[in-house]
């Protein structure tokens, strides 16, 4: 039989016209797992026409042929090649192990299973093992990013996962022990940019953190900052800052001289994450902190209330990490947060986010339907109104529905006098 197969292979290699036919038969076998089905060949050469014409005479003259694999093999297996194993012939002709696409896929899957099982065993009893096991089993939490890297280079992926394991074991998950991302990355990998958020290494680290703290993967840079903050990491200590007025702070039970001086001088103070890292406790006057979205409103209210020096915070739009650190410390110090923002989709999103975080410690201030009606303008929110549909705080539902109905924004600059009156009343 072996001699017969060798003879068949030699015959096919010598014969002009067989190469493309056999290649198509091989591909058909890999696709369906058996020697059957139909094959279509375009632009037949003279030699191919002669070979296929033996199966169907019309192929002698036509330039295309649609023929049965079974008929071709049956014709070939006559005479001296009768009873031949055509799969063995294909294997010898192409000098390769014949595996169907299904078999190749199954082998790849098995190889991948062994790879990840080995890593899981190596990472046993670590935070990363919990994330990695869930990622593989549920195909979530960064699965597709991880598999893409695995297909590029299993060796590189393992190096990344080892660094993430070390990173997860080193994270403080504490707001009291914050570390800059670049410094953290350097300590773990000796590369300050290794865990940059736009790189696969940074993305997988964030996926791991999200799994451990039971949070969804963040949809934008600001939400990424919040996730990192919860794990004890900050991306930018200096430029990430918040404008404040009237804060009182302590460090190691000693009054913070910087905050005290600005309070005495009745000056606004811009606090960065770096500044805040040296302040253990922050307090608000009369335990009330008034938070504004707009810097102009903050400045005008401050100027009109200098004689009473209330505690004021300005988020300058979306709440950044420095703002959250300040608000967290204020709430820990017993303060109640009074938030007022613009009557537009973004303003309600900020209010909703803060309410979710601080619950009963946060009060919506001058954020009623009556206030909205009083200052409603002509700026349309139609192109942005879909943002309102994600509002979760029940206290905002009536206001949300009113904005959707009216389709117009209202801006807090027109409520400055109302804010001042409320603050003076205490």
357-386 confidence digits (pLDDT tens): 999 999 999 999 999 999 999 999 999 999
Q: What percent of the chain has pLDDT over 70?
A: 100
Burial class (CB in 10 A: 0-12, 13-18, 19+), 137: exposed
Domains held by the chain: number: 3
Average pLDDT, the chain: 93
Q: Are residues 254 and 355 in the same domain?
A: yes
33-70 confidence digits (pLDDT tens): 888 899 999 999 988 888 888 888 888 888 889 989 99
Q: Are residues 258 and 175 in the same domain?
A: no
Q: Are residues 75 and 136 in the same domain?
A: no
pLDDT at 102: 82
409-421 confidence digits (pLDDT tens): 999 999 999 999 9
Would you report the helix, strand and coil content of the chain in percent, each value rounded to 5? Answer: 60, 15, 25
Say if CB 180 and CB 228 are below 8 A apart: no
278-323 confidence digits (pLDDT tens): 899 999 999 999 999 999 999 999 999 999 999 999 999 889 999 9
Q: Are residues 57 and 21 in the same domain?
A: yes
Say if CB 150 and CB 142 are below 8 A apart: no
CA 187 vs. chain centroid, Å, equals 24
Q: Is the per-residue pLDDT at 142 higher than 70?
A: yes
Query: Residue range 128-145: average pLDDT?
Result: 95
Q: Are residues 137 and 85 in the same domain?
A: no
Last-in-domain residue among 98, 120, 137: 98
* Full domain range(s) for residue 128: 103-234
Last-in-domain residue among 205, 234, 263: 234
Q: Are residues 341 and 291 in the same domain?
A: yes
Last-in-domain residue among 98, 127, 143: 98
């Amino acid at each position: 039989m072996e001699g017969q197969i060798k003879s068949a292979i030699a015959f096919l290699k010598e014969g002009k016209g067989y190469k493309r036919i056999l290649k198509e038969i091989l591909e058909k076998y890999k696709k369906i797992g058996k020697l059957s089905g139909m094959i279509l060949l375009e632009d037949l050469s003279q030699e191919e026409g002669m070979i296929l014409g033996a199966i169907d005479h019309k192929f002698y003259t036509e330039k295309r042929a649609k023929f049965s694999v079974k008929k071709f093999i049956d014709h070939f297996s006559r005479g001296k090649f009768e009873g031949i194993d055509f799969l063995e012939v294909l294997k010898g002709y192409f000098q390769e192990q014949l595996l169907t696409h299904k078999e190749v896929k199954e082998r790849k899957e098995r190889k991948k299973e062994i790879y990840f099982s080995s890593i899981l065993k190596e990472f046993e009893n670590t935070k990363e093992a919990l994330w990695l096991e869930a990622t593989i089993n549920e195909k979530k939490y960064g699965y597709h990013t991880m598999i893409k890297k695995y297909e590029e280079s299993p060796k590189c992926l393992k190096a990344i996962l080892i660094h993430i394991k070390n990173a997860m074991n080193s994270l403080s998950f504490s707001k009291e022990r914050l570390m800059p991302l670049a410094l953290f990355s350097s300590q773990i990998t000796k590369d300050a940019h290794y865990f940059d958020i736009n790189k696969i290494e940074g993305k997988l680290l964030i996926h791991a953190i999200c799994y451990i703290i039971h949070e969804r993967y963040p949809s934008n840079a600001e939400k990424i900052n919040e996730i990192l903050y919860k794990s004890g990491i900050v991306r930018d200590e200096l430029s990430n800052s918040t404008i404040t007025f009237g804060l009182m702070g302590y460090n190691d039970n000693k009054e913070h001289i910087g905050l005290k001086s600005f309070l005495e001088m009745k000056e606004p103070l811009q606090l960065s994450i770096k500044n805040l890292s040296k302040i253990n406790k922050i307090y608000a006057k009369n335990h009330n902190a008034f938070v504004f979205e707009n810097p102009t409103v903050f400045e005008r209210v401050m100027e009109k209330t200098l004689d009473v020096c209330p505690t004021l915070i300005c988020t300058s739009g979306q709440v950044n990490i420095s703002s959250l650190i300040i608000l967290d410390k204020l709430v820990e110090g017993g303060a109640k947060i009074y938030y007022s923002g613009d009557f537009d989709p973004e303003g309600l999103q900020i209010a909703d986010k803060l309410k979710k975080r601080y619950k009963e410690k946060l009060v919506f201030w001058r954020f009623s339907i009556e206030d909205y009606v009083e200052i409603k303008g002509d700026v349309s929110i139609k192109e942005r109104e879909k943002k309102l549909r994600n509002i979760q705080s029940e206290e905002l539902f009536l206001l949300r529905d009113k904005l959707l109905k009216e389709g117009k924004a209202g801006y807090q600059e027109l409520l400055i006098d109302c804010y001042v009156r409320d603050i003076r009343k205490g």
